[in-house]
Chain A
C-alpha cells in the first residue's frame, strides 16, 4: 500500500474518495485524446510482431506516447539495447522538469502519498492538466485528485493499447468526423489548458515557446523540438525579469 493513512477510516474518507473521483472525471478529456493514440500503438505493436501481453506491458511500464512507437520500431529493426534505451530516454528527458514545477502546487507538507505514486504517471498531458487545475482544487484533496487524474489517463492508455492489439482495425470503421476529431482532442486540450493559465505575464513565454518549437520542428524531431521550445520559453522569462530589473 502506497498511501500513508493514519487509519482505515481515513483511507475511505469522503474527502479522499471525492478527490480521487474528481481527478478521474478531470482525466476524461485526456482519456479521449489517449484512446486513439493507444489503439494505434496496440495495432502497430502487434503488427510488428509483439504479443498482446508484451504490447500492454510496454504501455504499462513506459506510459510515454511517442517513445513507445519508437521503442517498438527499434526493437523490430534490431537496434541494440544501449541505442534503444538511450533513444527512449532522450525522447522523455523533458519529463525531468515536470516534478519540480508541479511540486509547487502541493503546499501541504509532508505529502501524504509516496512520491513514487505522484510521479509515476507524470505524462505531458497529466502535467499540463495538473498545472492548470491544481490550484482550483482544495488543498486537502490535491494529492488524491492528482492520483485520480493519473489513474484515469493510465487506464485509458492501457485499455486503448489492449483494444488496438485485439481489434484495432475496427477503428477505421468509425464515421470520418469522429476519426478526424479524435486526432484533435490533444491540441484542443492543450489550448484549453493554456487559456486556463493565461495572463499577461505568461503571454510572452507562451509565444516564445510556441514559436521556438515551430521553428525547431523544421530541423528537429518533435522529441527534441518540444524540450528546446520549453527551455527557451522558460529561460526567456528569466531573461525578461533581469531586463525589467535593470
Chain B
C-alpha cells in the first residue's frame, strides 16, 4: 500500500471516528430519559448547535467582511434577502438560493 493511500485511508477513518464515537457514546449513555441531560451539559448540548451555525456563518462570511466595500455590500444585500424571504415565505431553500442570486447580481453590478 502506498503512502498516499495510507494517509487517505487513515484520515478518512479518523474523521469518521470523530463523528461516530461521540454519537455512539451518547447513544449508549442515554437510554431515552437521559437524553434530557442534566445541568450544565444539557445547556451546553442545547446551545452548541446554534453556536456552531453562527460560527460557520461568521467564518463563511469572513472574506466578505474583510474586504469592506462592494463585496461587503453584496453580502449584506444577500443576507437581507435571505431574512426577508425566510420571514415572509418560510421555506429555507428558496431563501438560500434567492440570497445567493442577489449576492451574485450585486457583485456583478458593482464590478467586484
Assuming A195-B83, A238-B43, is B16 touching A120 (CB within 8 A)?
yes
**Contact partners of A54 in chain B: CB under 8 A:** 4, 8
How many residues of B are counted as interface, with CB atoms below 8 angstroms from the partner's CB atoms?
Answer: 72
Q: Are B54 and A206 in contact (CB under 8 A)?
A: yes
Bound CA span A132–B50, Å: 9
Compute the total of residue contacts between A and B using a CB distance below 8 Å: 302
Closest to A86 in B: B14
Q: Are B54 and A118 in contact (CB under 8 A)?
A: no
**Contact partners of A212 in chain B: CB under 8 A:** 55
Shortest CB distance B86–A (Å): 5
Q: Are A127 and B92 in contact (CB under 8 A)?
A: no
Q: Are B22 and A99 in contact (CB under 8 A)?
A: yes
Interface residues of B in 5-50 (CB under 8 A from A): 6-16, 18-27, 30-32, 35-36, 40, 43-50
Q: Are B44 and A185 in contact (CB under 8 A)?
A: no
Interface of A is mostly: helix
Interface residues of A in 90-115 (CB under 8 A from B): 92-104, 107, 109, 111, 115
Stretch at the interface among A7-15, A164-172, A175-183: A175-183
Q: Are B22 and A188 in contact (CB under 8 A)?
A: no
**Contact partners of A139 in chain B: CB under 8 A:** none
Q: Are B58 and A210 in contact (CB under 8 A)?
A: yes
Task: Digitize B80-112: 1 where CB-to-A-CB distance is under 8 Å, 0 elsewhere.
Answer: 001100110000110111011101110110000
Report, as a range, how many residues of chain A touch the other chain. Answer: 35 or more
Shortest CB distance A217–B (Å): 5
Q: Are B59 and A119 in contact (CB under 8 A)?
A: no
B residues engaging A (CB < 8 A)?
Answer: 3-4, 6-16, 18-27, 30-32, 35-36, 40, 43-62, 64-65, 74-75, 78-79, 82-83, 86-87, 92-93, 95-97, 99-101, 103-105, 107-108
The 5 lowest CB-CB distance pairs between A and B, nearest first, are: A61-B12, A99-B23, A233-B51, A181-B104, A229-B55
8 A-B residue pairs with CB within 8 Å:
A63-B15, A99-B20, A104-B35, A109-B32, A176-B108, A184-B75, A233-B50, A234-B51
